[in-house]
Every structure is written in structure tokens, then in C-alpha cells.
Amino acid sequence: MLEDFKTTEAWRVFRIQAELIDGIETLKGLGPAVAVFGSARLGEQTPYYRQALELGGRLGDAGIAVITGGGPGIMEAANRGCFETRGTSVGLNIQLPNEQAANQYHDTRMAFRYFFIRKLMFIKSCDAVVVFPGGFGTLDELFESLTLVQTGRRLSLPVILIGVDYWSGLLAWLRERVLATGCIGAGDFGLFHVTDDLDRVMEIIQEHFRRNGLEEAGD
């Protein structure tokens, strides 16, 4: 019996291609945008949710699109803050065995089968990255962004970590172990900013936009 073509590895290539084209077409023309990453488990009762909510609103009021993973927690907060402003709220969800429910605060919504295409859409479409506290997925997105900047594959991309206390242990380990053994250079610490001040976050983003001809986002 002939093998069903739709179960072959070759067919998977077509699915990947279709998802890639769909993502590019859906997000083209988005304009200045900030990707916001963070835990799905940090709900409304947490200060980080409230910060993400405020940041989403401030970005949206400045005419800057907000792109998140489309789920609950920090993602919901950033989308929710942006949703009723003049900015575009984007959710790029992922299809998982234990389904991640999409939040309701989207102007544009997509659901991806493949993690690597979803991550490509984040990094291709955004002009800055803001990272709130989170787990493995958030760390993956953080280090993916830093690696692309460090290696010159993505030039001029501000990466901002919110939560000085939360990130302090990771930063200490990077200095005491990774830097000390020569696996990164001292200059690599200049690839990101760490702050709890949303005024500082907006200042970094808007200064980056001015330097790169994106100042009209705040007009």
C-alpha cells in the first residue's frame, strides 16, 4: 500500500512553509513594535502583571504595537494594556498538548504549530524586546534574542529585563561562572538593560526608535 503523503516528512515541509508564509503576510506592515515576554503563571494579583498592563498601555498610547505569546499572565496583561489604545495588540499563540488558552485582548491573533516559526515571527516583527519574570519559555526567548544580537544576526535590538530582584541571581551566575570561565565577554553585559522603572523602559525604546528613524511611532 502506498504511504499516505500527508504523513511523510516531505509533507511537513509544506506545513512549515504555509505557516511561515501566513505569519509573514499577517504581520507585514505592523509598524514599530515591542515584543513582551513573561510567565503565563503571573496573574492579576502580582505586581509584574500590573507593570505589564501599564507598559502595554503606554506603548499603545505611543502608537507602538505590542506582540506577546497570546496567552494568560504577563502576556494577557501587556495585550490588555495595549488593546484599547491606538497601538495594535498582537497575540502569537502556540498549539500545545495541554492547550495554552488565548487571552481575549488581541487585534491580531495567530496560532502556531511550530515553536521555531513563532519565535522567528517575534524577532522579525519587533523593534525591541521587554522580558518580565518567567520560566523556561521566557528564558528561551530571552537568550534567543541576546544570541541574535551578540552574533550580529539582529542588529540594534534593545533587550530590557524588568524585575531587578528577580533577575539578580541569573546575572550573578552569568558574572561568576559564565564570564569568569571566558564563555562570554564583559561587553556582553551591555547587550541588555535591567530595571524596574517603566519610565526608563519607555526612554530606552523611544530613544532607539529616534536613532533608527521610527520616531513617528510616538507622534
CATH number where 63 lies: 3.40.50.450
pTM: 0.92
Tell me the Ramachandran region of residue 26: left when phi exceeds 0, alpha when psi lies from -120 to 50, beta otherwise.
Answer: alpha
Say if 51 falls within a structural domain: yes
Cβ within 8 Å of residue 93, ≥6 positions away: 69, 70, 71, 100, 102, 109, 110, 111, 112
Amino acid at 195: T
Backbone angles phi, psi at 182, to 5 degrees: 85, 10
Q: Which DSSP letter does residue 30 get?
A: -
Say if 49 falls within a structural domain: yes
Quick check: 111 and 93 in contact, CB under 8 A?
yes
pLDDT tens-place values along the chain, 219 residues long:
445 656 677 788 889 999 999 999 999 999 999 999 999 999 999 999 999 999 999 999 999 999 999 999 999 999 999 998 999 999 999 987 775 788 999 999 999 999 999 999 999 999 999 999 999 999 999 999 999 999 999 888 999 999 999 999 999 999 999 999 999 999 999 999 999 999 999 999 999 999 988 854 444
Say if 120 falls within a structural domain: yes
Number of domains in the chain: 1
Say if 217 falls within a structural domain: no
Q: How far apart are CA 146 and CA 158, in angstroms?
A: 9
